[in-house]
Structure 1
Amino acid sequence: MSAREAAYDAAVAKLNSIYSGQIPEQVAREIADAALDTAPQSDPWTPIYRLVGWLDRQNGRTDHEISMRLLKLVEEAGEVAQAYIGTVGQNPRKGVTHTRQDVADELCDVIITAMVALVSIADRAPDDILAAKLAKVTRRASSEGGAR
């Protein structure tokens, strides 16, 4: 199996994991294709828009559905915490159960889920919203002697 095929299979598996196996295989494959065809990923929004389109077709975009997308973000953040706790073996009954790579993977799930939520709720281009927020945070950090 080539590296690309392995990456493709991993991307499809990750999408199925994030959406608890509810995403149709064909949609997962289309999103994986889009993500891999733009390597290096110069536009992370393309697969996100496809995910949002699929979710909208399946569930609509009602206030309730948007609430569920926001709650999904909280669920994913909890999985980051769980993975990190597992890296330090904080639970003496379980010991060390996760790696830093597990934490990184969970953080990626948070990012993807946040991007889906942003596209779902934004009243203007989400990439513009994110760029403006990044610029604001960077300016604030720079003025406080932080990021330069």
Structure 2
Amino acid sequence: MSMYGIDPEETADALDNAAHWDAAQLMRKMAKEITDLEARLAKATQPSADDKWATIHRLVSWLDQQNGRKQEEIGLRILKLAEEQGEVAQAWIGYTGQNPRKGTTHTLDQVAEELVDVIVTAAVALTSITDKPDVFLDAKLKKIAERVNA
């Protein structure tokens, strides 16, 4: 089934059953083309790791232009992590419905979005103190991978 809710294979099978062999073949060809296009579109819209870091660097440059990059500003960027982590906690509590007065107030997707905010905020803070945040992240991930695989 395509992302548009169309199942060309099912339609082609129905056409086969209705003795419309040419139309069924055409539907199968179209189904393959749709699948190929969807795969290319998905790949094209997935930024590479380099693109992600470039976005973080642009964000840091923008913040630097707005606020400068003195020690106080870097400290505030690091403290922003605590704020974002609090939003993750709030979303998780809302997802689980832990507060009986409020009930379920968040979805799992909202929790995921808040977690991404933490990741981006951490990347901004890291990029604010080093020009090579990717090197630090890669080194840490390598150590973790070695520990897990040990």
**TM-score, normalized by length of structure 1?**
0.69
Structure 2 CA distance, aligned partners of 1:50 and 1:74?
23
Alpha-carbon distance between aligned partners in 1 of 2:57 and 2:74, rounded to the nearest angstrom: 15
Residue number in structure 2 paired with 1:139:
146
| Cα displacement string for residues 61-113 of structure 1 (whole angstroms, at most 9, x for unaligned residues) | 11100010001111101101100000111111100000000000001101110
Q: Where do residues 1-148 of structure 1 align in structure 2 (5 Å cutoff)?
A: 39-42=45-48, 43=50, 44-122=52-130, 124-143=131-150
Q: Point out the structure with the larger helix share.
A: 2
Give the AA of the match of 1:138. Answer: A
CA distance in 2, matches of 1:39, 1:130: 23
Q: Distance in 1 between matches of 2:140 and 2:96?
A: 33
Aligned residues: 105
Q: Which runs of 5+ in 2 are unaligned?
A: 1-43
Let me know the Cα RMSD of the aligned residues: 1.1
Give the letter for the 2:146 counterpart.
R
Deviation at 1:139, TM superposition (A): 0.3
TM-aligned CA deviation for residue 45 of structure 1:
0.5
- Using the TM superposition, give the Cα deviation of residue 40 of structure 1 relative to its aligned residue in structure 2, in angstroms: 1.4
Q: How many angstroms does 1:141 deviate by?
A: 1.1
Report the Cα offset of residue 39 of structure 1. 2.9
- Distance in 1 between the 2:47 and 2:128 partners? 21
Sequence identity (%): 59
Letter in 1 for 2:47: Q
Q: Which runs of 5+ in 1 are unaligned?
A: 1-37, 144-148
**Structure 1: which 4+ aligned runs deviate by more than 2 Å?**
none
Matches of 2:59 and 2:110, distance apart in 1? 23
